[in-house]
Copies of this chain bind each other. A is one copy, B any other.
Amino acid sequence: MRTVKEANERKNEILDVAKDLFMKQGYNQTNTNEIVKAVGIARGTLYYHFKSKEEIMDAIIVRQGDELVRRAENIADDKMQSVFERIFNIIMSLKIEEQEQELVAHIHRPENALMHQRIEKMIVEKITPILTEVILEGIEEGVFKTAYPYECVEMILIYANTAFDEEDSDPSSRDLRKKVNGFIYNLERLLGCKSGSLDFIRKTFEV
C-alpha cells in the first residue's frame, strides 16, 4: 500500500509542477525536459506516469475537474435544499473564484485554446448528469416537465459556457442584461416550468 501512496504522491507532484510551468510560461512553450528538471526526477520516472506532455495536461484538467465535480455532487445530494436552491448553488459552485482569475486569464490566451476547449468539454460532460438528476427530482415534484432532461441540461450548459464566457462581459451593459433575460426565458421553456420560477438565476450573473 505504501508504494501505491507514494506513486500517487509523485504523480500529483508532477502535476503540481507541470501546472505551475504551464501557467507561468504557457503550454506550448513548456517541454517535458523542463518538467523533469523542475520536479527533480529521472526522465524514466516521468514516462512511467505520463507518456507525453499532452497526457500531463489532460491529467491536470481531469484533477481540477474532479474537484469541481465533487463540489457539484455534494450540492446535488443535499436533499435538505429545494430543487431550485440546489440548481442555484451548483451554478454558483461552477463560478470562478477570485484567486483563480490567473487561471481564467491563462486559458483565454490564444496559445491555450486547446486547454480551454478541453476544460469546457469536460465541464459539460461531468456536470450534465449531475444537474440532470436534480431536474429529474423536479419533474417528480411537478415543477419541471420535459421528455429530454439530459439533452435539455446539455444545451443549457454548452450555451452558458460559451455565451457567458466573455472575459470582457460588463455586468452593467444593456446587452448582457438582455442576454440574461433571454437565457432565463429560454430555460423556463426548455424545462417546462412556470414563468418566473427561474428568475433567481439572474442573481448568479450579478445583473
Contacts and interface: CB of A to CB of B under 8 A. Distances in A.
Contacts of A110: 54, 114
Nearest to A192: B189
Interface in A2-18: none
A148 interface: yes
A144 interface: no
A114 B113 CA distance: 5
B148 A186 contact: yes
Given A162-B158, A190-B189, A148 B182 contact: yes
Contacts of A151: 178-179, 181-183, 185-186
A93 B190 CA distance: 27
A70 B179 CA distance: 26
Nearest to A150: B182
A159 interface: yes
Contacts of A111: 114
Nearest to A188: B189
A39 interface: no
B113 A186 contact: no
19 contacts: A110-B114, A113-B114, A113-B117, A116-B117, A117-B117, A124-B162, A146-B189, A147-B185, A148-B181, A148-B185, A148-B186, A151-B182, A151-B183, A152-B186, A154-B159, A155-B155, A158-B158, A189-B189, A189-B190
A-B interface, 5 closest residue pairs, ranked by CB to CB distance from nearest = A151-B182, A148-B182, A113-B114, A113-B113, A155-B159
